[in-house]
């Protein structure tokens, strides 16, 4: 898969660890910033990653801030984006299977690097189940429209 990743300054140190891990799983990954630990604003990176995923340039997006909360809220403002913040792998998996999430967020102040890798793997290894979930995801899209 083609994956876009972004973080604010708080997620900056965890990001390269996740990038290397995702490369090791055999995916293509592009870092859309931030590129230093200088203080910045997480919505900028939500917008970049979410717009790239929504436009179809990337299959999925990953966002990291301190908690994963702000950066996922902002990503969900972009039409076509279903972003989830996760601190364990079960919700990450189910968010793909049932909710067809296309952006995964987590917090560098909440999860350590090994747990973050487990969350990422569980999400990337899962596909949307469709079926009865299709209509519900469509209903989410209709709220946005």
Min. distance of Cβ 50 from ligand RB5 in angstroms?
A: 15
CA distance 51 to 136: 23
Phi, psi torsion values for 135, nearest 5 degrees: -60, -40
Distances, alpha carbon 1 to alpha carbons 42, 56, 78, in Å:
24, 12, 21
Phi, psi torsion values for 94, nearest 5 degrees: -65, -30
- Name the active-site residue from 86, 98, 133, 145: 98
Q: Which is nearer to ligand RB5, 81 or 93 (CB)?
A: 81
Min. distance of Cβ 78 from ligand RB5 in angstroms?
A: 17
Q: Which is nearer to ligand RB5, 68 or 89 (CB)?
A: 68
Provide the 8-state DSSP code for 32: -
Is 133 tagged catalytic?
no
Min. distance of Cβ 53 from ligand RB5 in angstroms?
A: 19
Please report, as ranges, the residues that interact with ligand RB5 according to CB under 6 A: 8, 10, 42, 65-67, 69-70, 107
Q: Which is nearer to ligand RB5, 66 or 126 (CB)?
A: 66
CA distance 16 to 51: 22
Is 65 tagged catalytic?
yes
- For the annotated catalytic residues, the residue numbers are 65, 98
């Amino acid at each position: 898969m083609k994956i876009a990743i972004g973080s604010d300054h708080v997620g900056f140190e965890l990001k390269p660890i996740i990038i290397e891990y995702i490369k090791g799983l055999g995916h293509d990954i592009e870092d859309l910033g931030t590129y230093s630990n200088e203080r910045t604003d997480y919505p900028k990176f939500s917008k970049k990653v979410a717009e790239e995923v929504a436009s179809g340039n990337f299959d999925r997006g990953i966002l990291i801030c301190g908690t994963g909360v702000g950066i996922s809220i902002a990503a969900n403002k972009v039409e076509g984006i279903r972003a989830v913040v996760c601190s364990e792998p079960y919700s990450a998996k189910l968010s793909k299977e049932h909710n067809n999430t296309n952006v995964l967020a987590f917090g560098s102040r909440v999860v350590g690097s090994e747990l973050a890798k487990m969350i990422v793997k569980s999400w990337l290894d899962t596909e949307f189940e469709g079926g009865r979930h299709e209509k519900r995801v469509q209903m989410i899209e209709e709220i946005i429209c």
